[in-house]
Amino acid sequence: MRRTLYLLAIVLGLLVVGALNVLAYSTGTRNLYVQVVLPVTMIPVLFSLGWLLSRRPLALPERLMFFTVNVQVLAQALLEEMQRPALSGGSDLVYWSVVVNVMLAYLLFPNREAGRYSAALFVLSVVVPWAGLALGGGAVSADLPRVQLTVGIVLLFVHALSWYRGQFEAQRSEVRVMAQLAHTDLLTNLPNRRGMYPAVQELLTSGGAALLLDLDHFKRVNDTFGHQVGDEVLERSARLMEAQLPPGGKVGRWGGEEFLMTLPGLGAPEAAQLAERLCQTFRTQSMVGVGLVTVSVGVTLARVGETLPALVARADEHLYAAKHAGRDGWRDAPLLDGGADGSVSAFPDV
């Protein structure tokens, strides 16, 4: 979009310069600014036009056009003061052009760079008119210092606003990062327990299923291969779980080697099928340097209006049943009277 805007501005500028020159020649008016300054400064503008059309980066033409516009403004100020015996209200336009260019600098460039451009442009906008008066032999009007002082105050105000905006953006970015860190598990890049609370709350409000997953014998992985390998297993497991998520589902690291999956709107059969797919996925995916790491899953339906601890406690009970039944599987109900198979698709306890 910026490239398109620059191209349109250049085309419009070329048309204006052409029209001004035609008007000057047709009326016989001698205007050095229109007949000399503008055509000469069109050379870098034409170079910028070619650069933009070649789809190359914008940094060079942005700076080149910015400096070209400033040269035009300062040249106009010099010529006006050389040709006028005393400053009149008409020259205010030059100084407000300086203000506009400075504001443009703060939009285009980093704050510190724009500040340097602003200071340099202000100094030149003060020196050049006085030089024009000296060269033209004109009398000094009291308006000149007044206008220059006003522009200086305005530029200081613009710089202060830009500095404040930079500080505000930096603080807001820092807050965003801190919020992300507070709700994200840095190892797996999944939501942590706190980051999962909104998803669980959605289940408790609208209904759905929850899966509590635990990597089997994970302590043995850490003890045998080291914690670095254990971290790699956790990362790989997180990616496998993410790959199986249905639309609207969310998975997070609940703690240690436990993960919680929320599935809004999912019923008992679909949740059971997903649990089976997860177990099957882990059975067929070898972890680098470790081999197979299986997973146990506790499946439960959310009861609308219940509390988070109640939901998680029930899912944990079903997970314990899957562990007790031999791991590498899922359960949607606790083991009944010590029976070997606690998988009940009807969810009798919900």
Query: What is residue 90's predicted lDDT score, i.e. its pLDDT?
Result: 42
Choice among 72-81, 220-229, 248-257 with the minimum mean pLDDT: 72-81
For the entire predicted model, the pTM comes to 0.54
pLDDT of residue 87 exceeding 60: no
pLDDT of residue 338 exceeding 50: no
Q: Which of these, 188, 310, 333, lies nearest to 258 by C-alpha position?
A: 188
Give 188's DSSP letter. T
What gap in Å lies between CA 259 and CA 64, rounded to an integer? 55
Q: Which of these, 249, 275, 272, lies nearest to 262 by C-alpha position?
A: 249
Asked whether the beta carbons of 300 and 321 are under 8 A apart, the reply is: no
Query: What is residue 293's predicted lDDT score, i.e. its pLDDT?
Result: 93
Query: What is residue 123's predicted lDDT score, i.e. its pLDDT?
Result: 87
Q: Work out the angle between the directed axes of helices 59-83 and 38-53 (0-180°, nearest 10).
A: 170
The answer to whether 62 is a known catalytic residue is: no
pLDDT digits (tens, 9 = 90+) for 288-334: 888 899 999 999 999 888 999 999 999 999 999 999 999 999 998 87
User: Which of the two residues, 168 and 252, has the higher pLDDT score?
Assistant: 252
Query: What is residue 342's predicted lDDT score, i.e. its pLDDT?
Result: 37
Compute the C-alpha angle 301/263/270, nearest 5°: 70
User: Which of the two residues, 36 and 207, has the higher pLDDT score?
Assistant: 207
pLDDT of residue 340 exceeding 50: no
Confidence bin at 341 (pLDDT 50/70/90)? very low
User: Which of the two residues, 80 and 154, has the higher pLDDT score?
Assistant: 154
Tokens describing residue 252 = 């997070």
What gap in Å lies between CA 226 and CA 255, rounded to an integer? 19
Average pLDDT, the chain: 83
Average pLDDT of the segment spanning 223-239: 93
Choice among 7-21, 35-49, 79-93, 261-275 with the minimum mean pLDDT: 79-93
Confidence bin at 350 (pLDDT 50/70/90)? very low
Query: What is residue 299's predicted lDDT score, i.e. its pLDDT?
Result: 95
Choose, from 80, 81, 257, 317, the residue flagged as catalytic. Answer: 257
pLDDT of residue 213 exceeding 60: yes
